Structure 1
Amino acid sequence: MIDKIAAEIDDELIGMRRDIHRHPDLAGEERRTSALVAERLRAAGLAVVTGVGGHGVVAVLDGAGEGPTVAYRADMDAVDDDELFDCAFASQVPGAAHLCGHDLHTAIGVGIALVLARLRKQLNGRVVFVFQPAEETCEGARAMIEDGVLERTAPREIYALHCGSNPVGTFAVGPGQPGQDRFRIELAGPGAADDAKRLVAMIDGLSTVGRPQTPGQLQQLMDDMQTPDGPLARFVYALSHSSSGDDGARVHAYLRAWPESRYAEIREEVRRWVDALPRGRVEFTEPPLPAMVCSPELNAAAASYLRGALGADAVMLLHAAYPFNGEDFAYFLHQVSGAMFYLGVANPEAGINGVPHSPDFAADEHAIGIGVRAMAGFLSHRLDALA
């Protein structure tokens, strides 16, 4: 039944995705996208609240029977950049583009809600749909939590999808994503500019992994992520730059690391470097963006379900985090057990790379229907499992 209903709304969801893609909303400005989501979900009979944590939308679907509550989160905001991929529905907003796939995330979230709304008589429990603003600035999840979304809905579990560079028709299940730390170093004195250049080299030298520049390097990265206790079991990815003027020099840096304990170790190392300079001072972001750590048990449950629903070859098990992106879904997972799965959107034969945040990011739209079918079934399955 899920497949039949999902097939009926495939074209509608692709149209919604293209509409959102043409008219991207930057973080904190998701008025148009949130209004579109709220209108469609109200029409489907869900109880909808808007303005949660900014432009967040919360929609509640109650099944016919009593039961547990599970939640599904989709982010809505665009990236502050221009897209390079040429398509008929390219962004019409200069300096804003859906280069991280949040347009797909939003359309899929709406699709899951529409499918389950048609099946509410078969559901025992409640599904809460959380459409989040401001993921790109890592502000939206905290804002919604501080606005009481979890207290009011009390989900037992929470899930999300993210576009991934795995092939369309597949899912990747993994440990999560790294957090992020930022710091600024102020230097004074006649040798400040030279000290800044040396610090940049030392900070960048912390990196144990670099962004892939070729298809072969990307494939090697994917292989490493699937290797237990492999080269990405522990990693650091650091970037920094310096500037100087008459008043001294400054170094700005950010880094991602796994496991999360590495941040404290790196902070101590950077402090030692700066303390060795006569007129140096370092300021760290307090606290760092936390790592997004998925529940191993719920990852296993999802992998088992998805293999049964889609076939054994449709699920890729990751043993390491993707080093280059963070995700503020971490704040939800720090309070509620759950997981994020990676929906394959790449189609190399069609020139679609599926790499989020790349300037030529593109996604195979068949992934929308695949995501809707898989997650509608999985959320229904989790309601039964928790009952």
Structure 2
Amino acid sequence: MSARLCSRIETMLPRVIETRHYLHQRPELSGQEEETAAFVARRLADLGLRPRTGIGGHGVYADIEGRSAGRTIALRADMDALPIQEESCLPYASERAGVMHACGHDGHTALLLAVAEILRDEMRDHDGRVRLIFQPAEETVGGALRMIKDGAMDGVDCVVALHGWRHLPLGHIGLRSGPSMAGAGVFDIEVRGRGAHAAYPHLSADPIVTAAKIVLALQTVVSREINPIEPAVLTVARMEAGTAYNIIPDVARLAGTVRTLTPETRDRIEAVVRRIVQGECAASGAVAEIAYHRGSPPVINDARVVALIRRAAVEAVGPDAVSDLVESSMGAEDFAYMIERAPGAMFRLGLGDGPAGHTSTFDFDDRALGVGIEVMCRTALLYLAHGLAPSAPAT
């Protein structure tokens, strides 16, 4: 299978690259992936598969059945783009103003379509089922959960995803067991005081001063409330108040994000944020409304699935190109919801040097596509043949 697989990937790569460029030119924002989903569904149907559409919004999934019943592994790719104006000057740059594939989801989608084509044929010699999941709305968090509610993970025994990664050499594979990516949350705080003329501050309950105190106090949440060995981030990213230079307003607003690697730290930070906000407002004669929105939980990779991917990756690229990641990423991924439903893991596919993700000049390096395809295919077939080992050491 090894030589045959490599030869097939090499032959199909020009088409895979063409597909990625097509998708890159036609990005769609989270929740608006109608054309992308239709394109994916057509390609799956052309392979003789029966795609299910409208799953969790614009989600699509399809099953590839083996010769007889067995285990089911799901392979997931995300499809949505970001609200960024592309400035790459690429010949296949985004045709849509203010929208671009700045996180590599065009690469993820094109790659998984290629995996579908290969596994459609390989599954004739294997038992079990491969489920191909094309997910909408990863960037806004919620697409995975909505797909799960619509049945995309029903009957799945194992789930695997990848993410293109700038911080790894081109074509290398990065693996980490346990917490791999952070859980995310956002908060909106409205501080309601009492406005007055700026020349008579004693008549006010100044919401700007109170909001400023809250911002400063929140800087102590991670440093004084969280165990130093537990990574966490709390950032106040927006502050709004007032309309004139001589009027103390009635209201000030704050907004920010929280990133954590464990559910316990996540719970603790929310409780402390609420305590600080209410305490500062009580001391200043103001009142507050807090909207604390929990996003996706941390991505906690199953060590057994990581061991499976490691075996596939070593077969594909050799041991020298497979790395154990020392640090978790404080970025968030709603793939976390899927691995709450079945043992799973997300691995990182090295894109080498270049503009970072979520910037206006980012591009998924086409040279990494073949490695991603091969590791995904090998992982699926190894799982169907052997399942998961009873246990594996964390890395």
Give the TM-score range, shorter chain.
0.7 to 0.9
Contact kept? 1:67, 1:125, Cα under 8 Å: yes
Partner of residue 237 from structure 2, selected from 237, 240, 245: 240
Give secondary structure in 1 for the equivalent of 2:70. Answer: strand
In the other structure, the counterpart of 2:198 is none
TM-fit CA distance, 1:362: 2.1
In the other structure, the counterpart of 1:146 is 149
Q: C-alpha distance in 1, partners of 2:130/2:104?
A: 23
TM-fit CA distance, 1:316: 1.3
Partner of residue 131 from structure 1, selected from 130, 134, 146: 134
Change (3 A) 1:6 1:255: same
* Bigger-Rg structure (1/2): 2
Q: C-alpha distance in 1, partners of 2:74/2:361?
A: 32
- CA offset digits 1:271-320 (Å, max 9, x no partner): 23222222232424354431121112211221233123311111111243
1:334 and 2:340 matched = yes
In the other structure, the counterpart of 2:163 is 162
Give secondary structure in 2 for the equivalent of 1:332. Answer: helix
1:39 and 2:45 matched = no
Runs of 4+ in 1 over 6 A off after TM superposition: none
Change (3 A) 1:260 1:236: farther
1:364 and 2:361 matched = no
Q: C-alpha distance in 2, partners of 1:238/1:331?
A: 24
Q: How many aligned residue pairs are there?
A: 357
TM-fit CA distance, 1:181: 1.6
In the other structure, the counterpart of 1:228 is none
Q: Counterpart of 1:203 in structure 2: which amino acid? A: L
Contact kept? 1:183, 1:282, Cα under 8 Å: no
Note the residue ranges of structure 1 that are not aligned, 5 or more in a row: 209-230
Q: Counterpart of 2:237 in structure 1: which amino acid? A: S
Q: What do you get for the CA RMSD once the two structures are aligned?
A: 1.9
In the other structure, the counterpart of 2:188 is 184
Deviates more, 1:198-207 or 1:49-58: 198-207
In the other structure, the counterpart of 1:226 is none
Contact kept? 1:180, 1:254, Cα under 8 Å: yes
Per the normalisation by structure 2, the TM-score is: 0.85
Q: C-alpha distance in 2, partners of 1:271/1:29?
A: 34
Q: C-alpha distance in 2, partners of 1:311/1:233?
A: 33
Partner of residue 52 from structure 2, selected from 39, 49, 52: 49
Q: C-alpha distance in 2, partners of 1:202/1:240?
A: 15
Q: C-alpha distance in 2, partners of 1:4/1:62?
A: 24
Partner of residue 215 from structure 2, selected from 181, 194, 200: 200
Partner of residue 124 from structure 2, selected from 103, 121, 124: 121
Question: For 1:278-297, what aligned pairs fall within 5 Å after superposition?
Answer: 278=282, 279-297=286-304
Partner of residue 69 from structure 1, selected from 69, 72, 91: 72
TM-fit CA distance, 1:106: 0.2
Give secondary structure in 2 for the equivalent of 1:167. Answer: coil
TM-fit CA distance, 1:237: 4.4
Give secondary structure in 2 for the equivalent of 1:124. Answer: coil
Contact kept? 2:83, 2:98, Cα under 8 Å: yes
Per the normalisation by structure 1, the TM-score is: 0.87
Q: C-alpha distance in 2, partners of 1:237/1:9?
A: 45
Partner of residue 277 from structure 2, selected from 258, 274, 278: 274
1:25 and 2:28 matched = yes
**Identical-residue share of aligned pairs (%):** 32
In the other structure, the counterpart of 1:213 is none
Give secondary structure in 1 for the equivalent of 2:18. Answer: helix
TM-fit CA distance, 1:35: 1.3
Q: C-alpha distance in 2, partners of 1:259/1:296?
A: 16
In the other structure, the counterpart of 1:171 is 173
